[in-house]
Amino acid sequence: MTDESEADAILSVRNLEKHYPVRSGLLRRVTGHVKAVDGVSFDVHEGETVGLVGESGCGKSTTATSLLRLEEPTGGEVYFEGEDITEYGSDDEQAFRRRAQMVFQDPNSAFDPRMTVGESVAEPLGIHGLRDGDRQRRIVEDLLERVGLSADDADQYPHEFSGGQKQRIALARALILNPDLLVADEPVSALDVSVQAEILSLLDDLQSELGLSMLLISHDLGVVRQVCDRVGVMYLGELVEMAPTEELFANPQHPYTEALLASIPDPDPRNRGDAVELTGDVPDPSDPPSGCSFHPRCPRVVPPADYDFPEDSFREVLDFRLSVENGDVDGDEFASPADVRDEFDLPPELPDGDADAVISAAIEDVLAGDTGAAADRLGDAFETVCEREAPELVETDAGHPAACHLHGAASEHAPPELSASDDD
Amino acid sequence: MTEPLLSVRDLHTQFDTDDGTVRAVDGVSFDVEAGETVCLVGESGSGKTVACESITKLVPQPPGKITGGEVVFDGEDLTGLSGKALREYRGGRIGHVFQNPQGALDPVYTVGDQLVEAIRLHRDVPKSRARERAVELLDRVGIGDVEERIDDYPHQFSGGMKQRVVVAMALACDPDLLIADEPTTALDVTIQAQVLRLLDELQDERGMAMLFVTHDLGVVAEIADRVVVMYAGKVMETGDVYQIFEDPSHPYTRALLECLPGRGRALETIGGSLPDPTDPPDGCRFHPRCPHAVPKCETGSQPDFEDVGGDHEVSCVLHGDEHRLPDAMLEVADDD
């Protein structure tokens, strides 16, 4: 990152880490760490909306709360207008709290049911030193109107409003101190589609009106596409790709991004069933896979350079290897080598004779009941760069960074058909 | 045409509340043919879940009450059945999958025990045979290492895996109809794609019919054969999935399609909100929010269904006899 882009950024996050200790046993000793956020870096520029997307458990919400210091990060720096907020004293921190605000997912639990909406919305004003009731009231009424409610609503209680209206009130409260940065964590996930659309357009309007910078966390790529200028994709605590929104949708560079995009149900009944399906769940974050943490699910996992695999056929071979290594394969269940190939979607014969010889020998081992030998044989032959080395976030040919061995230093392993397959 | 597997006719379900009577389902009719997938779509509060739960009387009574209409399943009217007779259907010929898999599983029993219980409720088989069947089912819904995992407790499974277990339970007795109420809403998109694929495969394999409730039109496009669009307790439009997506005829259906986020253009919002359920408006329920409303929409009751071609029915005065130029009107309105 150059100094110039940092100077321009209202928020710069550098190698942010939030590790939670895992304790076990009688003495509650720390036996490991859940790396909820593990080295995330990005910038939010003045007036820009940046989105963070990913499956649940990928660390996007923790990123938001750590960068606001609602939870103390365990490593890395966060610069707000060039100053490191992790070194703020209490006065500076109070000023920062005024200028950076957050909106949460569930508007139903965001309000004290015994306070009127006006009291709730005005509360931050009192905390930050404006205690004149009449002035508070004027500001509250002005903001309620701005978010599409009426000034009289200030005297109502939260339960009298629908979910969408409550989210508007939550927005009014977040905006009452005139912040420069708004962090919105899943602001529309708890709402109906029709109401989502309203809140998203409201966010858009408010942002251009007030010149806000915004960080939007969502698991819904449709939402992100609607409001964000740039999007970062997170997987298991790491940022795997970052790109301007339309570029990310048109030309995803990381296989995980591709799979995420392909999983969005397409509202066109004539385009059915063309989704790339991701197998399995997000791995256990306290015991992440080696190398690229996405490799156990990746449909584009890089084959070893010694063999010649047609595109995307290595996944089945690797799945077979992993099952054998985990001891999930029982030779007694299969009658013939063809059965084994069938079960693991392996072709009757791989085009590369050497690779096929290894597979055949391993299947023989399995049928003979010697899974250990099969595991060794497969492990020696089919080791992939994806499990050895963690990829760095590097600039790709598409002009934006992604963390994948298909790009970067290991890209000589990339199947040549890669770019062609992107076109369809 | 042969008799549909499930035929819901003029169903009324209401709830007595302190604020008055809520007519959550107010004269809803639809059919589900054997082997087909029907999607009930609408915003929250439109009555789609209550409509589904009324089929096997899962609506808590009181405060709920099914006040009229009939639900004919394979020739028998379920509304007249006793609790005991209904239990034969629930989990037997009619399987249920709910939105929140956590709430559908008992945390203090292993998933294996729960499956065995579900099987033995409806089938007179010994425990060992039921357990074999449980293993088969879990294997079929894609739980790896079944022999090891069958004795795990629900909290040891991830959300997607729990929903697979719930699907396995619903399939335990080879139902003819699977009622799935927002089964993927609580799941991540990648896991949602897996579960939808699984349901689709299972349906093909077993020739099972599916009544699928969702608010997500993307999901509807992915799986539905036919679609029933509900609003404020009434059906607005029914048609096959292509008719609904390519030729939406009710202004509400159009509005729902317009507000799908992420299609790379400015969002149209519907504006306003669902009417007060205790005091719905006269005329078409949607008229206070409808951009095409004419005075006729504000009086009387919900307009009668008009067939706009090939079993595609819509409840809107713009398609009625007195307005013979509906298409022209709607197209003009589309341009702005």
Amino acid at B59: V
Instruction: Report the C-alpha gap between B88 and B74 in whole angstroms.
Output: 14
Residue A66 has pLDDT above 80, yes or no: yes
Q: What percent of chain A has pLDDT over 70?
A: 92
Distance from the Cα of A2 to chain B's closest Cα (Å) equals 31
Residue B306 sits at φ, ψ, to 5 deg, of: -110, 135
Average pLDDT rounded to a whole number, residues B266-277 = 71
Residue A415 has pLDDT above 50, yes or no: no
- B323 compared with A43, residue with greater pLDDT: A43
- Of A251, A223, A107, the residue nearest A170 (C-alpha): A107
Distance from the Cα of B48 to chain A's closest Cα (Å) equals 14
Is A2's Cβ below 8 Å from some Cβ in B?
no
Distance from the Cα of B87 to chain A's closest Cα (Å) equals 33
Residue B244 has pLDDT above 90, yes or no: no
Residue B264's Cβ-count burial label (10 Å; 0-12, 13-18, 19+) is exposed
Contact A417, A312 (CB under 8 A): no
Instruction: Report the C-alpha gap between B186 and A197 in whole angstroms.
Output: 20
Residues of B in contact with A264 (CB under 8 A): 189, 218, 262
Cβ of B261 within 8 Å of Cβ of A193? The answer is yes
Distance from the Cα of A351 to chain B's closest Cα (Å) equals 29
Average pLDDT rounded to a whole number, residues B106-129 = 87
Q: What percent of chain A has pLDDT over 90?
A: 21
Residue with tokens 């729990």: B162
- A141 compared with A106, residue with greater pLDDT: A141
Task: Please enumerate in sequence order all residues whose Cβ is within 8 A of that of B226, keeping only pairs 6 or more positions apart, or say none.
Answer: B36, B37, B38, B39, B238, B239, B240, B241
Q: Which of B159, B215, B271 sits opposite A192 (nearest CB)?
A: B215
- A11 compared with B121, residue with greater pLDDT: A11
- The pLDDT mean for chain B works out to 82
**What pLDDT is recorded for position B1?**
53
**Cα B201–Cα B207–Cα B211 angle in degrees, nearest 5:** 80
Average pLDDT rounded to a whole number, residues A128-153 = 88
Instruction: Report the C-alpha gap between A239 and B27 in whole angstroms.
Output: 51
| Lookup: tokens for A400 | 């934006």
Residue B266 has pLDDT above 70, yes or no: no
Residue A416 has pLDDT above 60, yes or no: no
Average pLDDT rounded to a whole number, residues B290-317 = 82
Is A272's Cβ below 8 Å from some Cβ in B?
yes
Residue with tokens 């054969």: B225
Instruction: Report the C-alpha gap between A30 and B262 in whole angstroms.
Output: 44
Cβ of B267 within 8 Å of Cβ of A226? The answer is yes
Distance from the Cα of A263 to chain B's closest Cα (Å) equals 5
Instruction: Report the C-alpha gap between A370 and A364 in whole angstroms.
Output: 9
A81: left (phi over 0), alpha (psi -120 to 50) or beta: left
Contact B313, B307 (CB under 8 A): yes
- The pLDDT mean for chain A works out to 83
Length of chain B: 336
Residues of A in contact with B191 (CB under 8 A): 55, 281
All domains of chain A in start order, with CATH:
6-250 (3.40.50.300), 255-293+388-418 (no CATH), 313-383 (no CATH)
- B230 compared with A350, residue with greater pLDDT: B230
B312-321 residue pLDDT tens: 888 888 876 5
Cβ of A193 within 8 Å of Cβ of B259? The answer is yes
Distance from the Cα of B219 to chain A's closest Cα (Å) equals 6
Cβ of A266 within 8 Å of Cβ of B241? The answer is no
Cβ of B221 within 8 Å of Cβ of A266? The answer is yes
* Complex prediction ipTM: 0.72
| Least reliable range by pLDDT among A177-181, B63-67, B150-154 | B63-67
E strand or H helix at A358: helix A353-367
Amino acid at A414: A
**Cα B49–Cα B196–Cα A228 angle in degrees, nearest 5:** 85
Cβ of A194 within 8 Å of Cβ of B256? The answer is yes
Instruction: Give the mutation candidate from A193, A194, A236 for the B interface (greatest B CB count, under 10 A).
Output: A194
Q: Residue B147: closest CA among chain A residues belongs to which residue? A: A328
Average pLDDT rounded to a whole number, residues A28-56 = 89
Distance from the Cα of B242 to chain A's closest Cα (Å) equals 6
Q: Which of B144, B188, B215 sits opposite A193 (nearest CB)?
A: B215
Give the model's confidence band at A412: pLDDT under 50 very low, under 70 low, under 90 confident, else very high: very low
Residue with tokens 């190398």: A291
Instruction: Report the C-alpha gap between B50 and B25 in whole angstroms.
Output: 7
Give the model's confidence band at A42: pLDDT under 50 very low, under 70 low, under 90 confident, else very high: very high
Instruction: Report the C-alpha gap between A79 and A398 in whole angstroms.
Output: 28
Task: Please enumerate in sequence order all residues whose Cβ is within 8 A of that of B133, keeping only pairs 6 or more positions apart, or say none.
Answer: B115, B119, B125, B172
Average pLDDT rounded to a whole number, residues B274-285 = 81
Instruction: Report the C-alpha gap between A5 and A11 in whole angstroms.
Output: 11
Amino acid at A348: P
- B133 compared with B273, residue with greater pLDDT: B133
Q: Which of A197, A226, A269 sits opposite B245 (nearest CB)?
A: A269
Name the most confidently modeled range: A48-52, A144-148, B246-250, B287-291: A48-52
Instruction: Report the C-alpha gap between A177 and A168 in whole angstroms.
Output: 16
- Whether the pTM exceeds 0.90: the reply is no
Q: Residue A283: closest CA among chain B residues belongs to which residue? A: B158
Q: Residue B193: closest CA among chain A residues belongs to which residue? A: A263
Instruction: Report the C-alpha gap between A267 and B220 in whole angstroms.
Output: 8
Contact A100, A93 (CB under 8 A): no
**What pLDDT is recorded for position A128?**
87
A222-251 residue pLDDT tens: 888 888 999 999 998 899 999 999 999 999
A248-281 residue pLDDT tens: 999 999 989 988 888 887 778 787 766 666 777 7
Residue ranges of the alpha helices (H) in chain B?
48-55, 83-89, 101-104, 111-122, 127-140, 146-149, 159-170, 189-206, 217-223, 241-246, 251-258, 326-335
Q: What percent of chain B has pLDDT over 90?
A: 5
Residue A184 sits at φ, ψ, to 5 deg, of: -115, 115
Sign of the CA dihedral B123, B127, B131, B133?
Answer: negative
Number of H-type helices and E-type strands within chain A: 16, 12
Sheet order of strands, A75-80 included: A29-45, A9-24, A75-80, A83-84
Give the model's confidence band at A423: pLDDT under 50 very low, under 70 low, under 90 confident, else very high: very low
Residue B328 has pLDDT above 60, yes or no: no
Cβ of A162 within 8 Å of Cβ of B273? The answer is yes
Sign of the CA dihedral B77, B83, B84, B90?
Answer: positive
| Lookup: tokens for B120 | 């033995």
